[in-house]
Amino acid sequence: MAAYAVILRERDGRVEILLSRLAPRISRAELWTLPGGGVDHGEDPRDALIREVVEETGLDATVGDRARVYSAHMPRSPRDGQLVDAHAIRLVYEGWVSPDSPTPRVLEVDGSTSEAAWRALDDVASGVVPVTAVVTEALVDHQPFRLQRVAAYALVTRLHDGHEQLLLTRLSARAAHPGRWTLPGGGVDHGEHPSVALAREVEEECGLPCSVDGLVGVHDTHFSGTAPSGRIEDYHGVHLVFRATVAEGDPRVVEHDGTTDDVAWVPVRDVDDGAIDVLDIVRWVREQPVDTEREHA
């Protein structure tokens, strides 16, 4: 009985998988497999997997709650110099590591693994990287985690020296699109009214009390990318965009180590002419019909 993990990450537009190379005493030819290993008597399989990933790669992994079960009967399997009739039950979980994790390295001495590395998923699929059957089987079944998230965002504008400005926040390295600018706001917690969530998020990201007004419209986005946890997700975001106002004062990011690292009043002309890199939701909101009665109130 053994437990393994499919651990993926995205780097520079390509998906990579964390693999362990079998030691020469296990396979004379180059052969890579999923990180993981045997479950000890009385040990929870997920605990065993987390332990094995540390031993084989030096990385701290988070493991999902569900696993797929694979069965392999190997009637002439070499073990300790003898051929044995082996039956392997393999539990394969989804796993992920923090985006700022160090380079993988083997910690276990004289174990079954001689090397650990991130390998391009395309190279695994094409056969450039030779892998065990469990890798091939698991990748056929593995699909990125699907997440649908409802969030509320604020359209906050002002006139400054005769020019219209838009309050925007910049995404940090923990976000899926670091360095790009977007509307202030964020996820709606379970049971939380969207306007309450929005006021909370704006104050965390901008440091200013927020008053929420009417709904501008509903925007959505669908993409695959890396979440702040390091997990690759098939992500569908549903965005409720409200008009809002904030109190006087200089905006500043209050929340530390979150997905926002800067906030600023940005000239609308810089958004419209592409001078700053913004998410699609910002361009979308600029295309929405203007409430002329409110604008001239």
pTM of the model: 0.72
DSSP 46-115: HHHHHHHHHHHHS--EEEEEEEEEEEEEEEEEEETTEEEEEEEEEEEEEEEE-TT-------STTSSEEE
**What are the residues whose beta carbons fall under 8 Å from the beta carbon of 82, sequence distance 6 or more?**
none
Alpha-carbon Rg of the chain, whole angstroms?
25
Q: What residue ranges define each of the domains in the chain, with the CATH number in brackets?
A: 2-141 (3.90.79.10), 145-295 (3.90.79.10)
Please give the single-letter amino acid code of residue 79: R
- In the chain, % of residues over pLDDT 90: 78
Residues 146, 236: Cα–Cα separation, whole Å? 8
> By percentage, how much of the chain surpasses pLDDT 70?
97
| Average pLDDT along the chain | 92
Assign 292 a pLDDT band (cuts: 50, 70, 90): very low
pLDDT at 297 over 80: no
Asked if pLDDT for residue 80 goes beyond 90, the answer is no
Helix extents (H) in 191-267: 194-206
Please write the tens of the pLDDT for every residue from 257-281. Answer: 888 999 999 999 999 999 999 999 9
Measured from the Cβ of residue 238, the count of other Cβ atoms closer than 10 Å reads 15
How many angstroms separate the CA atoms of 293 and 199, rounded? 24
**Distance between CA atoms of 5 and 135, rounded to whole angstroms?**
9
Note whether 251 and 162 are within 8 A (CB): no
Closest Cα to residue 167, out of 292, 284, 268, 259?
268
CA atoms within 13 A on the CB side of 36: 27
Q: What are the percentages of helix, strand and coil residues in the chain, rounded to 5?
A: 20, 45, 35
